[in-house]
Chains A and B, each alone.
Chain A
Amino acid sequence: MTTCTRCETALEDGDLRCAICALPVPAAARASDGKQIAQVLRCGDCGAAVAFSAAAQAPRCGFCGATMAIEQPVDPIEAAQLRLPFSVDRDTAEAALRGWLARRGWFAPRALSSEAVLESLTPLSWAAWLVNAEALVTWAADSDAGANRSAWAPHAGQVSLGFRNIVVPASRGLRAAEARLLIPYYELGHVVGVDRALGDGEVASTIESFDAQRSAARKYVQDAIEATAKVRVEPQIPGRRYRNVHVACLLERQTTDRIVLPAWVLAYRYRGNPYRAIVHGQRSEVVFGKSPIDWSKVGTLVAIALLIAALVALAIILR
């Protein structure tokens, strides 16, 4: 495997620059598979000279209109290498949804749990990157250690940290906020190869393709690792209380695996309106989603609040 000479991150076919430090990858290193890359200057159909068409993003012959494929820059289609099997089956997922609907609180319609119609219950293996990296992390923060007249004093430091199995969503099917709610509950020790045959009773799922491009992933990965680093440097900060924690990471030796993670996506309908909920594919108690609100209850509550406010105002005026 070729690695970046600057940060030792593993380079992949199609990389023009390192995904972490942006060092351009020499052409020779990229052609490691021995493929010849053609430089097209003449139309293959009619032999005329060609010009690059900005509209077609390819050389186009001005005479016969044919376009020619040139070396595509980045982002070959990514495919999952690993998958995390479902341990929540269909019946358990449906029961988890019913239980969640029954616990939606006072503002939910009373008949929600009994009248909600389950329209679809789809096992989805959603796409994510599984990132490992080393990093030199520099930090700055305020803490109560050494505080003087103010309750806060500034501190700074640095620490080398290893980041293991950081999950970075690459999903179209799930929103980023939904993925963030699911990620902390996955047992990544149970990962298997994506091609491994399903066991008896194992849930067959739709395996999502990678929507976000790898070249765009650099920012997601950086953000995810910085968010993790902010938590990981907390023990380094002196004192008992802290605020304004800022980190800067110099990532090295990053490796990335493509993984798909299990979730049940439920679509249900209540009195004609569609709603969606997600049940974790390994922990059925992790359920979240949208549910209807009984606006008559909200109206009643607002009316009561207004009545109380009016009575208080009246009492104040009369006193």
Chain B
Amino acid sequence: MAGTSTDARARAGVTFACGHCGASLEFVGVRTETCPYCASPNFVERPPGANQPHPELVVAFTGDAQVARHQLDRWLGSRTWFADARIKRARVEDLRGVYVPAYLYSAVAHTDYTASIGEHYTETETYETTDAEGKKKTETRSVTRTEYRPLAGHHVGYVTDVIVSASAGLANAELAAIEPYDFLALRRYSPAVVTGWIAEEFSRDPDDCRRASRNEAIDEVGLWLRRFMPGDSHSDLAWRTTVQWESLDPILVPVWVLAVRYRDDRSPLRVVINGQTGAIAGKVPLAWWKVTLAIIVAALVIAAVIFAISQHGGQPG
């Protein structure tokens, strides 16, 4: 019986909940003692959540931890010298590959819009000027003006490839910072793809995710409309989008997470890397002793220069 139980656990993975950031993560064939998102040791095993959405699709990792580490080093190399060294000292094993739950949204968007369209025209105007002898004279010049005309119309399109995070550990803004994913490499979900990796459970309410996706879709329609407007310029663009045929499909996307926790009362130092494209986002905190040292050195240099100039200026020529 024990053997059967172990086998079932190996197949299903072990679920842990982070007491700090709230992420629920399933570990399939890997072991860890800290939360990969926030490096908290407050990480306890618990039964898998009930009524979990089943991921339909998955974007697979395209490189291992060494590749991610190389990308991180290159990124850190382009950061300032003032960056906190704790991030730079992070080891390869501190980088954890996580399949982050998200929803893939698409819909048909019908949009009614109004705008004020600017059409340029050229006019000849007269103006007074003063010549070299101080005489006033009238001259003409050509000026470009804009005539604004109202326009109302309709716009249609499929909004596709919108993803929103359904993770408790990775906020949507953090996921958006490392998008886009190349959905040409999408796979049908299979446990075989996530075996050996950490997969987080779906934590956010699908209705919340649908609303967030819809808002992203409407923002995208706004970008389309700005390119769609005729004329030489436009202003007062307003639109109302009706989305139809919405689809919201559970998906797993690959993310490398580097979390370094240095104080329990502070957010961890965290860098996230797109596990498919290598795009990196993170806020690297400054090492304040380096900043202070730099200010002191700069002040000393300036003082030395001023002193040298004053000494030199005091000598008779």
On whether the beta carbons of B160 and A21 are closer than 8 Å, the reply is yes
Write the chain A residue with the least CB distance to B161.
A22
- What is the chain B residue whose CB lies nearest that of A216? B184
Quick check: B249 and A24 within 8 Å, CB to CB?
A: yes
A residues near B, CB below 8 A?
A: 6-7, 16-17, 20-24, 27, 30, 37, 39-41, 49-55, 57, 59, 62, 68, 70-71, 73-74, 136, 138, 140-142, 147-158, 213, 215-216, 243-246, 248-251
Report chain B residues within 8 Å CB of A17.
183, 186
Give every chain B residue within 8 A of A52 (Cβ-Cβ).
60-61, 192-197
Q: Is B10 an interface residue (CB 8 A)?
A: yes
Q: How far is the CB of A47 from chain B (nearest CB, A)?
A: 12
For the A-B complex, the count of residue pairs with Cβ-Cβ distances under 8 Å equals 164
Please indicate the chain A residues that have their CB under 8 angstroms from the CB of B230 in the complex. 140-142, 154-156, 243-246
Q: Which residues of B contact A41 (CB under 8 A)?
A: 11, 191-192, 195
Verify A71–B151 contact, CB threshold 8 A: no
Inter-subunit contact B190/A39 (CB<8 Å) = yes
| Closest Cβ neighbor of B113 among chain A residues | A156
Extra inter-chain contacts (8) besides given A54-B67, A154-B117, A250-B158, CB under 8 Å: A22-B161, A52-B193, A54-B64, A140-B153, A142-B231, A158-B153, A158-B156, A246-B229
Also in contact, A71 and B229, with CB within 8 A (given A21-B108, A152-B119, A250-B108):
no
Q: Tell yes or no: B213 within 8 A of A by CB.
A: no
In the complex, whether B240 has a CB less than 8 A from a CB of chain A is no
| Bound-complex Cα distance A215 to B184 (A) | 6
B151, A51: Cβ atoms under 8 Å?
Answer: no
B247 contacts across to A, CB distance below 8 A: 6, 23-24
Query: Is the pair B245, A6 in contact by a Cβ cutoff of 8 Å?
Result: yes
Chain A residue at minimal CB-CB distance from B229? A140
- Nearest-neighbour CB distance to chain A for B13, whole angstroms, equals 11
Once A49-B29, A156-B151 are accepted as A-B contacts, the answer to whether A55 and B191 lie under 8 Å apart by CB is no
Q: Determine the distance from Cα of A70 to Cα of B153 in the docked complex, in whole angstroms.
A: 48
B192's partner among A40, A142, A246 (CB-CB below 8 A) is A40
Chain A nearest CB, measured from B237 CB (Å): 12
- Contact for B149 among A23, A30, A54, A148, CB less than 8 A: A148
Contacts of A246 in B (CB 8 A): 227-230
A248 touches B224 (CB 8 A): yes
A102 to B67, CA, bound (A): 56
Q: Does B121 contact A (CB under 8 A)?
A: yes
Restricting to B179-219, which residues have a CB under 8 Å from any CB of A? 183-188, 190-197
Alpha-carbon gap, A64 to B197, bound state (A): 19
Give the residue name and chain of the B residue nearest to A136 (CB): B156
Complex A-B: 16 CB contacts under 8 Å: A17-B183, A23-B247, A27-B56, A27-B188, A40-B190, A51-B195, A52-B60, A54-B67, A59-B195, A73-B188, A138-B155, A140-B151, A148-B147, A151-B119, A156-B153, A251-B158
Which chain B residues lie closer than 8 Å to A156 at the CB level?
A: 151-154, 230
CA distance A23 to B186 in the complex (A): 13
What 3 A-B pairs are tightest by C-beta distance, nearest first? A51-B196, A156-B153, A22-B160
Kindly state whether residue B285 has any CB partner on chain A within 8 Å: no
Q: A96 to nearest B CB, angstroms?
A: 39
How many angstroms between the C-alpha atoms of A37 and B228 in the bound complex? Answer: 44
Q: How far is the CB of B115 from chain A (nearest CB, A)?
A: 8
Contact A151 B158 (CB under 8 A): no
Residue of B nearest to A73 (CB): B187
**Per-position 1/0 for B1-36, Cβ under 8 A of A:** 000000000110000000000000000010000000
Minimum C-beta distance from B7 to chain A (A): 10
* Complex interface: chain A residues within 8 A of B152 (CB): 156
B70 contacts A by Cβ under 8 Å = no
Chain A CB count within 10 A is highest, among B67, B153, B275, for: B153
Within 8 Å CB of A23, what residues of B? 106, 245, 247
Asked if B157 and A248 sit within 8 Å, CB to CB, the answer is yes
B10 lies within 8 A of A54 (CB)? no
Q: Are A157 and B153 in contact (CB under 8 A)?
A: yes
Taking the closest CB of chain B, its distance from the CB of A73, in whole angstroms, is: 4
On chain B, the residues within 8 Å of A68 by CB distance are: 192
Query: Using Cβ atoms and an 8 Å threshold, which residues of chain B touch A138?
Result: 153-156
Contact A49 B156 (CB under 8 A): no
How far, in whole Å, are A243 and B60 apart by their CA atoms in the complex?
45
Q: Chain B residues near A49: list those with CB within 8 A.
A: 10, 29, 195
B180 to chain A, nearest CB (A): 13
Contacts of A55 in B (CB 8 A): 63-64
Establish whether residues A51 and B29, one from each chain, have CB atoms under 8 Å apart when the complex forms: yes
A147 vs B121: C-alpha distance in the bound complex, in angstroms? 11
